[in-house]
C-alpha cells in the first residue's frame, strides 16, 4: 500500500466516523418520517458517488480512445467496479427505506427502473471486460460501452421530472436552496465527503492492483 | 471464446431491452390522476391511481381493517376503499398512490396503498434538537 493510499484510507475512515456522528448524534429526527429518514445519509451519498464514478468512467474512456493510454483504461475499470458497489448500496438502502415509508420494497416507477438499468449496464460493462481475453480489444470495447452507458446517468437523475414517479424529486441536486433543515444538509454533506474519500481510496487501490496484475502476467 | 462473447452479449442486450420496454410501458405513466381516471374509467380494469388524500375524508376501522378515503387532484375526486393497514406515512393532506380496480359501483377498490413522500425534510418543533437522546427515546417506543 502506498502512503497516498494509506492517507486516503485514514481520511475516509475519519470521514465515515464523523458521518455516523452527524447522522445519529447531531441531525434531528425528521418530523414526519421519524428515524427511518436517517437512511438518507447512506442512500443519497451512495448514488451521488455512483454518478461521480460513472462520470469518471466516461471521461477515462474518452481519454483511452483518444490516446490509448493504459492508465486511463485501468482508471475506467476500477471506477466502474466501485460505482457498481455504490449503486448496489443505493438500491438496497432505498428498498429498506421504501418498505416503512412507501409501503413497498420495490415498485417499477421511472426512477427505480432507470437506476436498476444503470446497475445492470455497468455490471454488463464489467462482464464484457472479463469476457474478452485480448487486453487491447477488451479495453477498446469497454471504452465504447463506458461512453454509451453514461447516457443513463441523466436518465436516472431527471426521471423524477420527466415521468410521474412514486419517488420524490431530488432535495439536494436541484436549482434553489434545498427544502430541508440546515442540520440535515450538513449531515448529508459530511457523509457525501466521506463517501467521496472512500471512492478515492477504493479506486486508487484497484488501479494499483490492476497495474500490478498486468505486470505479473505480462 | 467468440460464441461465449456473442451469447453473453445477447443475454445482456435482451435483458436490457426487456427492462427498458417494461419500464417505459409501465412506468412512463406510473399512475393516473383522478381526473384521468374519471375521463376513461373501465370497470374491472386495473389502475394505479395517484393523488392527495383529501382532508376530512379518511375513515379507518381498526377492527375490520376497513379503510375509506378520497383521492383528489384539484379537478376531480375518486372515493377509495381498501382492506388492510396503510403505511406509516399515509395520511390526510399527503400524497398517495393506490393499486387496484375501478368498481362499477362508483368507487376504487384498492389492493395496495403506497404513501408518496415529498422532497421536504423538517426538524421536529421545539428547542430539543434531538441528537442521540431523542434517538434513544424514540427507539424505546416513546413518542413517534
pLDDT at A8 over 50: yes
**pLDDT, tens digit, for every residue of A143-152?**
999 998 998 8
The beta-strand segments (E) located in B5-143 are: 46-53, 59-61, 66-72, 77-83, 95-102, 108-116
Rounded to two decimals, the ipTM of the complex is 0.73
- Closest residue to A113, CB basis, from B4, B15, B27: B27
Which residues of chain A does B114 touch, with a Cβ-Cβ cutoff of 8 Å? 102-104, 107, 166
For chain A, percent helix, then strand, then coil, each to nearest 5? Answer: 80, 0, 20
What span, in angstroms and rounded, lies between the C-alpha atoms of B8 and A147?
A: 20
Cβ partners under 8 Å of residue B42, min gap 6: B102
Query: Is residue B121 scored above 50 in pLDDT?
Result: yes
Q: Could you tell me what percentage of chain B is helix, strand and coil, using 3-state DSSP and rounding each to the nearest 5?
A: 30, 30, 40
With 90 as the cut, is the pLDDT of residue A197 above it? Answer: yes
Question: How many angstroms separate the CA atoms of B132 and B144, rounded?
Answer: 15
Q: Does the distance separating the beta carbons of A166 and B19 come in below 8 Å? A: no
**Read out DSSP for B84-111?**
SPPPTT--TTSEEEEEEEE-TTSSEEEE
Per residue in A181-192, pLDDT (tens digit) is 888 889 999 999
**A57: which 3 cell numbers?**
468512467
If DSSP codes are grouped into helix, strand and coil, which group holds residue B112? strand
Average pLDDT in chain A: 91
A64 and A76 Cβ atoms separated by less than 8 Å: yes
Question: Alpha carbon A187 to chain centroid distance?
Answer: 18
Q: Do B5 and A132 touch (CB under 8 A)?
A: yes
The span from the CA of A197 to the CA of A215, in Å, is 27
CB-based burial of residue B102 (10 Å sphere; 0-12 exposed, 13-18 middle, 19+ buried)? buried
Higher pLDDT, A69 or B6: A69
pLDDT of residue B126: 46
A166·B116 Cβ contact <8 A: yes
Q: Where are the domains of chain B?
A: 1-30, 31-116
Which pLDDT score, from 0 to 100, does residue A173 have? 75
Q: Do B31 and A102 touch (CB under 8 A)?
A: no
Mean pLDDT is lowest, of A73-87, A162-176, B13-27, for: B13-27
Per-residue model confidence (pLDDT) at position B18? 78
| Higher local confidence (pLDDT), A37 or A74 | A74
Task: Name, of A189-198, B43-52, B97-106, the range with top average pLDDT.
Answer: A189-198
pLDDT over threshold 90, residue A76:
yes
Report DSSP letters for B11-22, one per residue: HHHHHHHHHHHH
Residue B31 is nearest to which of A35, A132, A164, comparing CB atoms? A164
pLDDT: which is higher, B91 or A77? A77
Q: Which fold, B31-116?
A: OB fold (Dihydrolipoamide Acetyltransferase, E2P) (2.40.50)
Provide the whole-model pTM: 0.83
Amino acid at each position: 500500500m502506498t502512503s497516498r493510499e494509506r492517507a486516503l484510507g485514514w481520511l475516509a475512515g475519519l470521514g465515515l466516523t464523523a458521518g455516523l456522528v452527524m447522522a445519529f448524534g447531531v441531525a434531528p429526527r425528521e418530523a414526519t418520517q421519524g428515524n427511518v429518514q436517517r437512511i438518507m445519509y447512506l442512500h443519497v451519498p451512495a448514488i451521488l458517488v455512483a454518478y461521480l464514478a460513472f462520470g469518471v468512467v466516461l471521461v477515462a474512456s474518452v481519454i483511452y480512445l483518444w490516446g490509448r493510454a493504459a492508465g486511463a483504461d485501468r482508471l475506467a475499470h476500477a471506477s466502474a467496479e466501485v460505482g457498481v458497489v455504490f449503486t448496489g448500496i443505493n438500491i438496497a438502502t432505498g428498498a429498506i427505506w421504501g418498505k416503512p415509508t412507501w409501503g413497498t420494497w420495490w415498485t417499477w416507477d421511472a426512477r427505480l427502473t432507470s437506476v436498476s438499468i444503470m446497475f445492470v449496464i455497468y455490471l454488463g460493462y464489467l462482464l464484457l471486460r472479463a469476457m474478452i481475453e485480448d487486453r487491447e480489444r477488451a479495453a477498446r470495447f469497454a471504452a465504447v460501452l463506458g461512453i454509451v452507458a453514461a447516457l443513463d446517468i441523466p436518465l436516472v437523475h431527471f426521471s423524477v421530472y420527466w415521468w410521474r414517479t412514486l419517488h420524490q424529486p431530488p432535495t439536494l441536486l436541484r436549482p434553489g436552496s434545498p427544502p430541508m433543515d440546515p442540520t440535515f444538509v450538513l449531515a448529508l454533506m459530511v457523509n457525501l465527503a466521506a463517501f467521496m474519500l472512500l471512492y478515492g481510496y477504493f479506486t486508487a487501490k484497484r488501479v494499483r492492483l490492476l497495474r500490478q496484475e498486468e505486470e505479473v502476467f505480462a | 471464446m467468440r460464441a461465449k462473447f456473442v451469447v453473453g452479449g445477447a443475454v445482456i442486450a435482451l435483458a436490457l431491452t426487456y427492462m427498458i420496454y417494461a419500464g417505459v410501458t409501465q412506468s412512463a405513466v406510473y399512475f393516473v390522476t383522478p381526473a384521468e381516471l374519471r375521463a376513461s374509467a373501465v370497470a374491472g380494469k386495473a389502475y394505479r391511481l395517484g393523488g392527495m388524500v383529501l382532508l376530512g375524508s379518511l375513515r379507518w376501522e381498526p377492527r375490520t381493517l376497513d379503510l375509506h378515503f378520497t383521492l383528489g387532484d384539484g379537478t376531480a375526486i375518486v372515493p377509495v376503499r381498501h382492506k388492510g393497514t396503510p403505511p406509516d406515512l399515509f395520511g390526510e393532506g399527503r400524497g398517495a398512490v393506490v393499486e387496484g380496480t375501478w368498481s362499477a359501483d362508483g368507487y376504487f377498490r384498492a389492493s395496495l396503498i403506497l404513501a408518496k413522500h415529498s422532497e421536504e425534510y423538517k426538524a421536529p418543533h421545539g428547542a430539543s434538537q434531538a441528537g442521540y437522546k431523542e434517538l434513544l427515546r424514540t427507539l424505546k417506543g416513546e413518542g413517534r
